[in-house]
Amino acid sequence: MDLQLIEAGLEVTAFGLGGVFAVLILFYCATKIMLAVATKTAKKEK
């Protein structure tokens, strides 16, 4: 096996996993923001 090929594969894997975790964190933050807005709106209506 060529060492450069393995290194390139690990680099692609790292970027892929980084992208997946970035999207998961983005969804988590978006959910928290929507929950805060909904809670504030519900309290205002009471």
Count other Cβ atoms within 10 Å, centred on residue 9.
11
Specify the pLDDT at position 42.
86
Q: State residue 46's pLDDT score.
A: 67
Report the alpha-carbon distance of residue 13 to residue 19 in Å, rounded.
10
| pLDDT tens figures, 13-36 | 999 999 999 999 999 999 999 999
pLDDT of residue 44: 81
Per-residue pLDDT at 22: 98
Residue of 31, 3, 35 whose CA lies nearest to 43: 35
